[in-house]
Structure 1
Amino acid sequence: MGCSDDEPLQRRTLLAVLILNALLAVGLGFGGLAADSSALLANALDNASDAAVYLISFLAVGRALVWKTRAARVSGIMLLILAAGVLIDVVRRAIMGAEPVGWTMMGLALVAAAINLACLILIRRQKSKDVNMKAAETFSLNDFASNGGILLAGGLVMWLDQSWPDLLVGLIVAAIGLKGGVEILREAREVERAR
């Protein structure tokens, strides 16, 4: 099978967003633990899942359509698993209690938003109809939206001196993950049916 003109660019783009998301996952994970924030930990898990998905998508570039749809399906399933993990963490923190640090949440949300916006711009420049590139775009858009929620939650945590805004955003991140996972699985199924 020959290599199309956009495959090397797709590989470079996916590798760039893979590295950015892996680094962001580590930073948000440490920040979430330090700030006792469910929202930041949810975002860290989300970015770690995204990095794994970008690796799968990177490996799918240039392969047969059946391989690409399987890779997209794995991406969708991983996102659903992430959402379930976030829901469990939010329930645990609601029961056990948490004292999130609002200013840490806000600072890391701004950094994450800038990185996720850069990833989204890189992916959208591709103008690709490839199912894995569409999945990558969904992930980056979801992450960017989640960062806005964490920024708001951090401000509310500081203003109200309560943890519920952090838990609420954790729930919203889980809902975004569920929606994104379902969309990716639906699109992979439609591509498979169209073959």
Structure 2
Amino acid sequence: MSGSCCGGGCSASKPVVDPVYRRVLLVALAVNAGMFLVEIVAGTAAGSVSLQADALDFLGDAANYVISLLVLGMALRWRARAALIKGVSLGVLGLWVAGQTLSNALAQTVPEAPVMGVVGLMALAANLGVAALLYAHRHGDANRQSVWICSRNDAIANVAVLAAAAGVFGTATGWPDIAVAAVIAGLSVSGAVRIVRQAAGELRPVAA
């Protein structure tokens, strides 16, 4: 099922809960919560703002999955409101990452490239697995699309973190790490805008 009842366009009636989608969300929640703990510890120890940014992205996604699980089976207006909350939260996260990136740029912090590489590979494997599970569920209402957008952004961010690790190793500077953190911040903000727009569009007919 790609959209609970009819592709996300079914008024405000309660959709049938997809048990497969529920199981996928539970797996994704466990993976993201675990990787948040791994990356926040490793990112802090290595002094890598891109790893810390990615860790917070994992945390945001874990919260995303919790909310999505809570609103499964609820009317469209509640799913749209949940998506709106997630979109705003994602935007705030992106702005926080942007601030941390600027701070590291001013401090000229040089992170530990080997740690970035190893943890980045772990995170990429985790996100590719989650994205593969969610690919079949990428269409539908704003709430469901928000789950897919966050997972897709994570996989892209992990590839960028690996590139940053190689760049830090090759240049012995923190600029590749800073550049990747800026990209992650941009992905978060742009994803937030898309989610908020669709959620607002779904709420307008309900209000009318």
Q: TM-score normalized by structure 2? A: 0.88
- Residues 40-77 of structure 1: per-residue CA shift (max 9 Å, x gap): 00000111011111111110100011110000001101
Whole-angstrom CA distance in 2 between matches of 1:191 and 1:3: 15
Partner of 1:193: 204
Q: Please report how far the alpha carbon of residue 109 of structure 1 lies from its aligned counterpart in structure 2 after TM superposition.
A: 1.3
Q: Please report how far the alpha carbon of residue 131 of structure 1 lies from its aligned counterpart in structure 2 after TM superposition.
A: 2.4
- What SS does the corresponding residue of 2:137 show, helix, strand or coil? coil
Whole-angstrom CA distance in 1 between matches of 2:88 and 2:46: 29
Q: Please report how far the alpha carbon of residue 98 of structure 1 lies from its aligned counterpart in structure 2 after TM superposition.
A: 1.1
Partner of 1:159: 170
Q: 1:94 aligns with which of 99, 105, 127?
A: 105
Alignment of 1:28-177 (within 5 A): 28-126=39-137, 128-177=139-188
Q: Please report how far the alpha carbon of residue 93 of structure 1 lies from its aligned counterpart in structure 2 after TM superposition.
A: 1.3
Q: Please report how far the alpha carbon of residue 134 of structure 1 lies from its aligned counterpart in structure 2 after TM superposition.
A: 1.1
Partner of 2:193: 182
AA partner of residue 104 (structure 2): R
Q: Is the 8 A contact 1:72 1:188 kept in 2?
A: yes
Q: Please report how far the alpha carbon of residue 193 of structure 1 lies from its aligned counterpart in structure 2 after TM superposition.
A: 3.3
- What SS does the corresponding residue of 1:125 show, helix, strand or coil? helix
Whole-angstrom CA distance in 2 between matches of 1:161 and 1:3: 54
Q: Is the 8 A contact 1:123 1:133 kept in 2?
A: no
Output the aligned Cα RMSD: 1.5
Q: Please report how far the alpha carbon of residue 14 of structure 1 lies from its aligned counterpart in structure 2 after TM superposition.
A: 1.1
Partner of 2:3: none
AA partner of residue 107 (structure 2): M
Whole-angstrom CA distance in 1 between matches of 2:64 and 2:15: 22
Whole-angstrom CA distance in 2 between matches of 1:143 and 1:115: 10
- Residues 87-111 of structure 1: per-residue CA shift (max 9 Å, x gap): 1111111222312011211111111
- What SS does the corresponding residue of 2:42 show, helix, strand or coil? helix
Q: Unaligned stretches of 5+ in structure 1?
A: none
Whole-angstrom CA distance in 1 between matches of 2:204 and 2:131: 28
Partner of 2:38: 27
AA partner of residue 101 (structure 1): E
- Residues 121-177 of structure 1: per-residue CA shift (max 9 Å, x gap): 111233641322211100010000001111111001000111011011111100010
Q: 1:82 to 1:64 in 2, by over 3 A?
A: same
AA partner of residue 40 (structure 2): G
Whole-angstrom CA distance in 1 between matches of 2:140 and 2:22: 15
Q: TM-score normalized by structure 1? A: 0.94
Count matched residues: 194
